[in-house]
Amino acid sequence: MRMMAGNLFIILFIGIFTLFFMETTKEMSSAQSLQTVLDDAVELEQITLHSNSLILDRDGNTISDIFSAENRIYLPYNEIPDMFKHAFLAAEDQSFFDHPGFDMTGIARAFIVNIQHQSIEQGGSTITQQLARNLYLTHDQSYERKISELLYSYHIEQVMEKEEILELYLNTVYFSNGVYGIEAASHYYFNKTAHELTLAEIAFLSSVPNNPAHYNPLTNSDATHERKEWILAKMKEQDYISNDDYEEALDKKISLSNFEKSDEYPDYITYVYYELEQLIAKEEGYMQQLKSANNDEARQDIEMKLQERVQHLLASGITVDTALDPNVQSHAVKTINNRLSSTDIQGAVSVIDHEASEIVAMTGGTSYEKFNFHRGYQAYRQPGSAIKPLLVYAPLIDTTKMSSSSLIDAGPIQRGQYEPQNFGGAVYGKVTLEEALKNSYNTAAVRILDMVGIEASFNYLDHFDFQKITSNDHVLPAALGGLSEGVSVHELTQAYTIFATNGIYTSPKAIRGVYDMDGELLYEWPRKETEVWTNDTVNEMRKMLGKVITEGTGRRARFSTSGYLGGKTGTTNDYYDLWFVGSSNRYTTGLWIGNDNPSSLYQQSQNHIHTQLWRDIMAGIH
């Protein structure tokens, strides 16, 4: 009795509703339009759909698919294959382009079926009604929801074109297993684009949304195939396909090829996320707000808003184009892991194409997992003598015009309570700058910093990307890498690119550009060139850094090449950190080795592990 009353109510409502909107359109001059009434009664919220984002390598290959709750790849109407449109129109709504949002014939037919079964077996829903349900309403099987659905559907038809409605529907319809829209479904079930699918595959996929649980291809493919045949019959009935097409599609074998989410190169991808946040912060003013924040609470609030902005962008379907070279990245990771993963020692590498000023590879530690602590850019350690070319020797040559053959006093030096010692307590006299650098004499480095002036030398470092060097570091021990917080291996590698670019510094980046779903450029790093040193200074430094590898402390880093090689070792007190940073004709590569909880690497230093690892990495990418 209750079911009968409900059925009678829905018929009565449909009749009244139909008469209401027909009569209203005739009396526009004397009463409010139905559209005005609906504008007040039915609120269509702004539609925000999540869409997958991508991170690409330098060749345009996907290295990371980014999606969370909704796996969706949005397709605009003109990119949706016609056969997908025809399949859904034939199966779900044959009068779509003629009705005002609901189909009276379909509703009546569903009503008769429901009367026969004394339950709500069919809903008679149009594509517009299904869209209204997917975007604004629930999926409750009730007549109250059905009435709301009719109102929303009619309103949608008044404010959207038919093509817009079909586009939204085909991008929001659910295909089971967390997949929304035809493009994501094509990728997920067949590992193809929607345009690459056969007619049989299109009909197969189009079967799922009618009842995603029942027609789930991964758990109930027999039912999916049955509905596929029904859809093909409907498409033939509506003249969307010929009889030959129908017969061929029926015989076509369906082979699922489940999509595996791309998430390669976790070391590099983790850094890309960091750089993306920095890029957005710079371009949208968050960085300036953080600098101007008066307290920690204000700073945390700004950082939270920045994080929300980044997540919003990642959910909008952006593409992040990067400079990653997969071969270089894989080689660097493999080399580090092969040498260190069986030990407690950690290591990190940064590889930069200094001609393009692009980061082509970066590692975060042995056996690195995505989003863990990243030793490439988050570990700040004392650089030891690896800082000398930047802070000591280049400033000296640039300010005095001395050359690599100029003499410097490497004898004992004491300034106040500070009296640096050379390795093994050795004492030297007058030596050339080349000899002092290639053999890493500490007394010479401290004397040079004192000669040039601490402030003058640190002014040069201001041009680079060191984040944690402050005025507290403006002391003589800095000549030997004695910094309060230190530097990351990536920062030091970035700075060393100056020796390969004629004294012009351009901050190397991983991200080439960030694009929206339509391919429009959203963000890119501005290319800013800063002249730090003269070309003459760089030429002298390159000669001396070359001697470090051929005759000095970096001899184990040498490998056979017809081009240039130059670099500098670094060892901190008690052998806690081992460094080598240097360049070839194309790449500048930095390597750090140490323990997360600092402890002596004396034996590893004696075995020249850092210079040999640098050699193995660089030799493998040339």
CB atoms within 10 A of CB 324: 28
Is residue 452 a contact partner of residue 476, using CB atoms and an 8 Å limit? Answer: no
Taking the mean position of all CA atoms in its chain, how far away is CA 185? 22
- Name the nearest CA neighbour of 489 among 563, 370, 578, 416: 578
The token pair that represents 507 in the structure block = 């901050």
For residues 107 and 123, give the distance between their C-alpha atoms in angstroms, rounded to a whole number.
Answer: 7
Is 153 catalytic? The answer is no
Give the Cα separation of 347 and 341 in Å (integer): 9
Length of the chain: 622
Contact in structure between 495 and 530 (CB atoms under 8 Å): no
Distance CA 568, CA 314 (A): 40
**Among this protein's residues, is 92 annotated catalytic?**
yes
Output the six-digit token pair for 496.
């060393």
Q: What angle do CA 263, 268, 270 make, to 5 degrees?
A: 75
Determine the distance from the C-alpha atom of residue 308 to the mean position of all C-alpha atoms in its chain, rounded to a whole number: 15
**Cα 26 from chain centroid?**
55
CB-side neighbour CA atoms (13 Å) of 375: 24
> How far does Cα 128 stand from its chain's mean position?
35
Question: Using CA of residue 18, residue 22, residue 27, residue 28, what is the dihedral sign?
Answer: positive
- Residue (of 338, 271, 304) closest to 488 by Cα position: 271
3-state helix, strand, coil in the chain (%, to 5): 50, 15, 40
Residue found by looking up tokens 């402050």 in the block: 470
Which residue among 385, 457, 583, 584 is the active-site one? Answer: 385
Backbone dihedral angles phi then psi of residue 73, each to the nearest 5 degrees: -120, 110
What is the per-residue burial (b if ≥16 Cβ within 10 Å, else e) of 106-141?
A: bbeebbeebeeeeebeebbbbbbbbbbbbbbbeeee
d(CA 184, CA 351): 35
> Which of 262, 258, 387, 259 minimizes the C-alpha distance to 324?
262
Cα 426 from Cα 418, distance rounded (Å): 17
* Pair 368, 272: CB distance under 8 Å: no
Cα dist from 467 to 153, 454, 491, whole Å: 56, 18, 8
Between CA 261 and CA 135 the distance in angstroms is 26
Tokens of 134: 């997917």
Contact 265, 329 (CB under 8 A): yes
Exactly one of 53, 92, 157, 206 is catalytic; name it: 92
Q: Are 490 and 349 in contact (CB under 8 A)?
A: no
The conformation of residue 487, written as its DSSP 8-state character, comes to B
> Quick one: residue 371, left, alpha or beta (phi over 0 = left, psi -120 to 50 = alpha)?
left
The catalytic residues are: 92, 385
